Amino acid sequence: IPLIPTSPSSMINQYKFEDEPELRDLFITVDDPESHITAIETFITYRVVTKTSRGEFDSSEYEVRRRYQDFLWLKSRLEEAHPTLIIPPLPEKFIMKGMVERFSDEFIETRRKALHKFLNRIAEHPTLAFNEDFKIFLTAQTWELSTHKKQGPGLFSRMGQTVRAVASSVRGGGVKNRPDMFTDINDYMETFNQKINLLDKISQRIYKEERGYYCEMKEYGPIHTLWCASEEDLVDSLKGVASCIDKCCKATENRMAGLSENLLPVLHEYVLYSEILTGVLKRRDQIQAELDSKVDALSNKKAEKDLLTEEIGNLEDKVECANNALKADWDRWKQNMQHDMKTAFLNVAENNIHYYEQCLATWESFLTSQTVDLHLGEDSEDKP
């Protein structure tokens, strides 16, 4: 049986090469994790290397070290500056809790990949890529970044009242004059959130069960080899079975790697994205609610008419900006999401085909060898 190419991403790489011409001018790599142990805490820093041809940068290449808290600061500043844009998610403080140990090589590598994706999502965004805090994050030395971070409070300390107001407005039943488009997006996200969380939960459970199966297989094969010592007439068959199990065990390990690299991170990233989008939609609704309340106040003549008219004009502009920003970002996010999902599913399909064909070929080869040996034995017995 002919096997498909050994690389699970070979077909996908070809699609990317054909469909995505290289137009970027900002390249970021997150690598080289390094442990730091102090009297107060233990933490990991990552090297962030930036290469660019943009004129607003003083150099074409930068290399800095950043810790997870720095990434959190950047995300909060982006949310503060662009409340109605879809900011890429960061990995939680503990990724896939229960699956990996904190500060283990697996945990650190999983986080490194997520941080790398986070920065490159921003770099590919038509607005976020030009944010001043993002530029500082990429270029400032550690002490310079610390100084810059002290210049102003973060999103939640400075905008606590706004966040509470958003939550209050949502509990109060939303807004009266929300455009149909954003009602449709809200409905879409409710369904998306339910489905993506279920997919994420089941996929992680499948991975854990696959790992258990793999551990059992590692013990299963050697038993046949040990059995050879007491079954002289079955030595070849037992060794053949042990060899097949060993090959299938290695194929299972590769299949697990495909799941952990190509499917689980994508599903979990979009679980986090669904939470972010819910927050963005709430912030848009809050601006709309402020406008609606001012319009109601004006119609009831509860306050100074001229002042309210000016405030309404400003809020109308603010709502229009929020709507336009979110519309453009929504279309872009949905296109990226569909592309990422299709790529992940194709990777899984190709990986599964490769896995099952490997196992099938392994067992068919064993069956053929045993059938030949059986016929040879029968022919020798028939001879006088």
DSSP assignments along 130-171, one per residue: G-HHHHHHHH--HHHHHHHHTTS--HHHHSHHHHHHHHHHHH
Give the pLDDT confidence of 81-117 residue by residue, as tens digits: 999 999 999 987 654 444 445 667 888 888 999 999 9
H runs (alpha helix) in the chain: 10-19, 68-81, 105-123, 132-139, 142-149, 155-158, 160-171, 180-227, 235-258, 264-300, 305-382
Across residues 257-278, what is the average pLDDT? 93
Q: What is the pLDDT of residues 66-80, one digit of tens each?
A: 999 999 999 999 999
CA distance linking residue 37 with residue 234, whole number of Å = 57
Model pLDDT, residue 283: 93
Mean pLDDT of 125-142: 94
Pick from 11-15, 115-119, 185-189, 211-215: least confident: 11-15
For residue 168, count other CB atoms closer than 10 A to its CB: 11
Q: Reply yes or no on whether the pLDDT at 166 is more than 50.
A: no
Amino acid identity at 147 = T
Q: DSSP string of 8-40?
A: TTHHHHHHHHHH-----SEEEEEEEEEEEE-SS
Q: What strand order describes the sheet that includes 42-52?
A: 26-37, 42-52, 61-67
Residue given tokens 């400032």 in the structure block? 140
Between 1.20.1580.10, 3.40.50.2300, 1.20.1270.60, 1.10.340.70, what CATH number should domain 180-379 receive?
Answer: 1.20.1270.60
Beta bridge partners of 30: 48
Among the residue ranges 58-67, 89-98, 143-152, 240-249, the one predicted with the least confidence is 89-98
Location of each CATH 3.30.1520.10 domain in the chain: 26-143
Q: Is the per-residue pLDDT at 301 higher than 60?
A: yes
Instruction: Answer whether 108's CB lies under 8 Å from 44's CB.
Output: yes
Q: Which residues of the chain does CATH 1.20.1270.60 include?
A: 180-379
Q: What element of type H or E holds 64? A: strand 61-67
CATH of segment(s) 26-143: 3.30.1520.10
* Report field, pTM of the whole predicted structure over 0.95: no
Cα–Cα dist 315/293, whole Å: 11
3-state secondary structure of 43: strand
Reference 64, options 38, 93, 30; nearest CA is: 30
CA angle 46, 52, 53 (to 5 degrees): 170
The pLDDT of residue 253 is 95
Q: Would you say residue 123 has pLDDT above 50?
A: yes
